[in-house]
Amino acid sequence: MSSPLARLRVRLAPTLRAAGIRPRLRLPRLTYALTRRPATPAAPFAELVRIESDPAYRALFCAELDAALHDRLATRTAVVEEIEAAAERLKALIRHGDHGRAA
């Protein structure tokens, strides 16, 4: 058996949904005005224009870009070294016949 509160909730749900739909159908402009929307984004090329027109900002942007590229290269190199080390460990396990033992 369900509780009286649960039954009431089940009975009220369609009514509450309909109450929410009616104002939306009858007052679409008001509903649109009250609906939250994300802020308008900046112009798509605003930062590019700033990079091209402001030498100080261009220098800062290029320095940050170089640092990000160096970090990416360092991360990539570290991952490749880890993969190569793991491959060497697997090759050593295969060569020495440690097939049955857990590492």
State whether 53 and 96 are in the same domain.
yes
Q: Which of 77, 100, 80 is CA-nearest to residue 88? A: 80
- The whole-angstrom distance between residue 38's C-alpha and the CA centroid of its chain comes to 17
pLDDT tens for each residue of 2-42: 677 677 667 766 765 666 666 666 667 777 777 777 777 77
Range of the domain at 64: 43-103
Q: Report d(CA 14, CA 2) in Å as an integer.
A: 18
Helix H or strand E segment including 54: none
State whether 53 and 101 are in the same domain.
yes
pLDDT tens for each residue of 55-82: 999 999 999 999 999 999 999 999 999 9
State whether 51 and 97 are in the same domain.
yes
Enter the pTM of the model: 0.47
61 CB-contact burial (10 Å; exposed 0-12 / middle 13-18 / buried 19+)? middle
Q: Is the pLDDT of residue 43 over 80?
A: no
Number of structural domains found in the chain: 2
